[in-house]
Structure 1
Amino acid sequence: MVSYLLEYNFISAAMIIGIVIMLIENRKERPYGTEHIAIIVLLLSVIVVNTEIKEWFEKVIFDENVNYRGDSAMGFMYLRSAVEHILFPMIAYIELLLIAPVKKKYVLFIPEFIVIVSEVMNLCGLKIIFTYDNHLKYHDGVLFLLPYFVGMIYLMLLLRYSIGFLRAKKMSKGIAVVFIVFLTLLECYLEAAYIVVDLMDEIVALDVIIFYFYLVAIYQSETKIKLRTSELELERSRRLLTLSQIQPHFMYNSLTSIIYLCDKDTSRAKSALIDFSKYLRKNVDAISRQGLVSIKEELEHTKVYLSLEKLRFDEDLDIEFDIKDEMFMLPVLTIQPMVENAVKHGINDSENGSGKVVISTEEMENYHKVSIMDDGAGFDVESLAKLDESHVGIANVRKRLEDECSGELIINSAPDKGTECIILIPKEYGDENSGN
């Protein structure tokens, strides 16, 4: 029997083994439809073994001169044919379960149920589908087309849903199902025209392989999308955490300055408290803010921040705004953290603790440009690769620029030469009329 299996059903057996190997390989991932494919492989294996036993019996044991009436061999042939008639439509039914967008899928089983009942009735003696004579010659019954008709119903349903997928622009799924139906119908035609014989096993196995590869590809694609979504959510969480971190030293310095002004200049103290409230509100709002904000809004928040820093630095901090372009959008809290770095690490760390910060904007050919320049201490740009947590604002701004508007942050600096931070916003993302 093994030799006959290898000789006459080698391709079917090889395909089944290949599918089993793929199922085992993907057992941990378990793509959607794996259980259905496993059942189909089991049914297909039964069909192949069933066909092999028949061929082995006909070539080794069968004798056309023997009267098999009442012999166990006749019972086996009846059972074998009934199993084959039931399983082929069953495989098409299970394939249909994988893609049919219907809630009451048990309705789809009704045609297959009719086949099963008819085959059982045929085995019980009604002989309505097929019969064997005394010499085991197969003869069609009145309903001999029933199993093929039911199989055709499932194939037509598969074709119908595949056309629906194509109309819904689910091209890969639609094409995969259309190709499976085409292969099966082509094989049926070739066998009906006696061009080929007994290739249904191979065609069904090939159908299963094609559809399983499709399922694995879809699973991998969905996994990549989920992974990317998870990464974006994680990055957003990190961004929100960073945005929610208000530097304690700045709060302490601002409150200390306000307390001092309460005794010296109550009017300025009141104004400073209003600015401090605006600053806190902006930072808190930024935690839940999505999308881009206008450059005007960012500059307004930066001015509020600088007004608070002026309480401490007074004349030691000189601020200049050179705004030539104010019709674009950028990520929230992009400019203020860079200005804060300029004040904290540029001006405050300079030799005399004083200096100038210039904030400018201009429209370029392909970009909106923001420049934050100070004449403070400066630093070695190569040290950016080793920034500690106190410089997390730079990495955060750079990351959000890349993710939210494909923007770019360029930092030019040298010790004792000051620093210039350049923010470039592509026009296709940053223009106020771009829809962002």
Structure 2
Amino acid sequence: MQTILDELTWRGLVVQTSGRDALAAALEDGPIGLYCGFDPTAASLHVGHLTQVLTMRRFQLAGHRPYALVGGATGLIGDPRMSGERVLNDEGVVAGWVDTLRDQISRFLDLEGPAGVQMVNNLDWIGQMGALQFLRDIGKHYRMGTMLAKETVARRLSSDEGISYTEFSYQVLQGLDFLELYRRHGVTLQYGGNDQWGNLISGVDLIHKVEGEDVHVLTTPLVTKADGTKFGKSEGGAIWLDAELTSPYAFHQFWLNAADADVVKYLRYFTFREREDIEALEQETLEAPQRRAAQKALADDITTLVHGPEATRQANAAAAVLFGRGDVRELDGTTVEAIAGELTTVDASADTALVDGFVAVGIMTSKSQVRRAAAEGSLSVNGEKISGEEVERPIGEVVRPLPGGYALLRRGRKAAAMVRLAG
């Protein structure tokens, strides 16, 4: 029988462990407590966090007890980056983000039963600890040489910018988190991205020194796009899990555009498809890449997981509309807004004549061209053919606007643009 460690390994989700044999034995002995931390440094999780959230779900499905830590304390400090000091956010803002992230994470996990996830906040123990207690009880177990050798710290110290004591102390706080969860809930495994290895080992060492016990860590790969950049907000263009920040259509398109070289890897990381199914999609990608079967499966699966089946249906319908095959009148307001973001969109009055609208959005360069195209029957608004007579009338009289007051103007299947009607 395949174990959870075997499953994670096949999916490429194991990079390092503190000792594979010891971890495998602990997992096989019975359900263990495990945790992963998420710092509230923004109002939403992004797709880079999905690796950790879905790994937690996999452990849960295997019967283990997950603890999702949202760092109300560490979020006030910030994990040091390879370059650049983090901006310290207001305490009230961070507290609001804690609530938002807890809600987002809990959507992916079972909340009840013996393997039900428990949401924890490290502000509950760090916030109660005074400076003297922290230095005496925790700080005395850390050696400067070890702390200075951490890759991020060493790189920052060798640069002109240096590193503040605030960010330097982050590794101690993360070690304290593991110790507290070990004491309070018997948690014996912490996992996280491979760039967190030093912080993860911090807790292993602390627990060994304070409690005389051995615990475990596991790291997952840093997921990158085809150009080698991480899935994170630091690199710009983040794909958020919040539909208000990244529309379900844009979210679906992001995965649909995955490179052939990456798509099978993403299917293993981010979907719950069985091995045989993924291998079949891998083979189809090799034999008929133009079908993009793996990309379609990936985009549909993850969009449904994050936003629900209706959002996936809308995203596919929107793509069909953009390629001139679907009915734009079936789309909801969020999806119409997403399409408007993909196309040239201009503001216009409902009294604007259609002939002027087609010129304004740049589909054609003159009114005479618009009139000829209308006479040929190649123009449409919101999917309805426009006659030579109707093209002279106001847009608001010819068609009912879409949600948000939009009208989709199209010449044939390829040329399309939007107007946003006011008044």
Bucket of the pairwise TM-score, normalised by the shorter protein: under 0.3
For the pair shown, the structure with the greater C-alpha radius of gyration is 1
When normalised by structure 1's length, the TM-score is 0.17
TM-score with structure 2 length normalisation?
0.17
Q: Which structure shows the bigger proportion of residues in helix conformation?
A: 1
